[in-house]
Amino acid sequence: MPGGTVLKICHLYPDLLNLYGDRGNVLAFVRRCQWRGIAVEVHRINLGDAVDFREMDFLFLGGGSDREQGLMAADLEKRREQLGEAVEDGLVVLAICGGYQLLGRYYRTLEGRVIPGLGLLDFYTEAGRKRLTGNVAVEVAIGGEKVRVTGFENHAGQTFLGQIAPLGRVLAGYGNNGRDGTEGARHKNVFCSYLHGPLLPKNPRLTDHLIALALNRRGLPADLAPLDDRLETAAGEVMLRRLLR
């Protein structure tokens, strides 16, 4: 990369937010960079660790149980202002399920406990009695093209969007709430989704889109060399055939 640039990846709360192999999202991002000779550096940030989000290129927040979300809400709150600045400056963020919920206004558990969110994005989440679980197919606009993304969801929380765009349209499964056909949320370079899977290893087009956005933000060329994605593509097609028949 020009000038020895290194893409800095922040994995926030890797010990607490790591449901259903969500760490695989970081691995996929890292590997697809490395296979193209793009140097990366992974910063694993746990409760209380120092980090400056404004210096980061990609931030990942995984899913966690209600208990774990409650544990980190106070720590996250201290980072609110800086994270908000970074987001508005175009930091590329992927937040899954519990991590997604924490970026919104609040998450109300089934027992009625309210876990405050950062309020950086305009949505709220309330747990419903029925868990929304299963495989999902979503249509997502990536670089002006409609791409079908697959994954697995398992959440009690039902998210309702305010003044914010969804990540995509549910083709099969529940998505944000099982009612309005939306999945995830999208603001600037922030991508929120309920899809575990993990999401990025299963959906290389989306991974490359995130890498390209991170490179663009640094003013670097983002013409990514194609990789051999035959396995991922074939697996995605099998999943789509089952879900959409």
- One-letter amino acid of 79: R
- What is the total residue count of the chain? 245
Ramachandran bin of 138, using left for φ above 0, alpha for ψ from -120 to 50, beta for the remaining angles? beta
Between 64 and 184, whose beta carbon lies closer to ligand GLN?
A: 64
Minimum CB separation of residue 223 from ligand GLN in Å reads: 35
**Burial classification of residue 112, based on how many CB atoms lie within 10 Å of its CB (0-12 exposed, 13-18 middle, 19 or more buried):** exposed
- One-letter amino acid of 133: T
Number of residues that bind ligand GLN (CB under 6 A): 12
Between 57 and 197, whose beta carbon lies closer to ligand GLN?
A: 197
Which residue stretch of 5-13, 59-67, 167-175, 185-193 sits at the interface with ligand GLN (rule: CB under 6 A)?
Answer: 59-67
Q: What is the dihedral of CA 149, 154, 159, 164, to 10 degrees?
A: -20
Residue with the two structure tokens 């149980």: 65
Minimum CB separation of residue 48 from ligand GLN in Å reads: 22
Backbone angles phi, psi at 96, to 5 degrees: -110, 135
Minimum CB separation of residue 214 from ligand GLN in Å reads: 24
* Binding flag, residue 19, ligand GLN (CB under 6 A): yes
State the Cα–Cα distance between residues 170 and 141, nearest whole angstrom.
12
- Identify whether 196 is a catalytic site residue: yes
**Residue of minimal CB distance from ligand GLN?**
63
Distance between first and last Cα of the chain: 44
Which residue stretch of 23-31, 33-41, 60-68, 84-92 sits at the interface with ligand GLN (rule: CB under 6 A)?
Answer: 60-68
Q: How many CB atoms sit inside 10 A of residue 148's CB?
A: 19
Among 33, 156, 199, 213, binds ligand GLN (CB under 6 A): 156
What does each C-alpha distance from 162 to 21, 31, 71, 182 come to in angstroms? 29, 35, 26, 12
Minimum CB separation of residue 65 from ligand GLN in Å reads: 5
Among 24, 98, 168, 184, binds ligand GLN (CB under 6 A): 98
- Identify whether 97 is a catalytic site residue: yes
- Number of H helices and number of E strands within the chain? 7, 12
36 is in an annotated binding site: no
* Binding flag, residue 149, ligand GLN (CB under 6 A): no
Among the options 10, 11, 33, 97, which is catalytic? 97
Q: What is the CA radius of gyration of the chain?
A: 17
Which residue stretch of 47-55, 81-89, 152-160, 223-231 sits at the interface with ligand GLN (rule: CB under 6 A)?
Answer: 152-160
Among the options 11, 155, 187, 196, which is catalytic? 196
Among 12, 40, 45, 97, binds ligand GLN (CB under 6 A): 97
Binding residue ranges:
131
Q: Could you list the residues that contact ligand GLN (CB under 6 A)?
A: 19, 63-66, 69, 97-98, 154-157
Binding residue ranges for substrate:
131
